[in-house]
């Protein structure tokens, strides 16, 4: 659930929950806070689970896979648009004035069957575990 603040005309937050990420990954929950628009947060909502799925089996540890997923998504977001005029235009999914922060929580299982919670962030977003 996301609540729109009073400073923006539209809600720039996007969230996703993915459960089909492959071997060892139980569930991923993520919140992306759009900065200067919702385009980048919306792109991450739709595509970030694919990056987790891709790197989870390729990289040696859950932490390294998650880091590589963030870096690969960042490279894609910042890539120049296609075509000759893409070189001179605004870069990225949302353009030069649009971005997002992200908070991601991954519930995963090791080879012995123990469950772990991995929390990761980009920018000023944070995942905080509450205590009873």
Q: What is the pLDDT of residues 59-97, one digit of tens each?
A: 878 899 999 999 999 999 888 777 666 566 666 677 777
Delineate the domains of the chain, giving CATH numbers in brackets. 13-122 (3.60.40.10)
Distance of CA 110 to the CA centre of its chain: 22
Model pTM score: 0.81
- Of 80, 88, 53, the closest CA to residue 69 belongs to 53
H-type helices in 1-132, by residue range? 39-56, 62-78
- Residue 73, pLDDT score: 93
Contacts of 89 (CB under 8 A, 6+ apart): 80, 81
CB neighbours of residue 85 within 10 Å: 9
């Amino acid at each position: 659930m996301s609540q729109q603040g009073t400073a923006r005309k539209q809600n720039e937050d996007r969230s996703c929950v993915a459960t089909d990420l492959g071997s060892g990954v139980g569930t991923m929950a993520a919140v992306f806070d759009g900065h200067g628009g919702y385009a980048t947060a919306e792109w991450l909502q739709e595509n970030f689970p694919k990056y987790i799925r891709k790197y989870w089996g390729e990289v040696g540890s859950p932490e390294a896979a998650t880091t590589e997923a963030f870096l690969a998504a960042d490279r894609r977001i910042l890539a120049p648009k296609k075509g000759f005029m893409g070189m001179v235009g605004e870069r990225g999914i949302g353009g030069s004035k649009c971005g997002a922060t992200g908070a991601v929580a991954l519930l995963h299982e090791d080879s012995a069957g123990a469950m772990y919670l991995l929390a990761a962030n980009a920018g000023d977003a944070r995942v905080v575990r509450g205590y009873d």
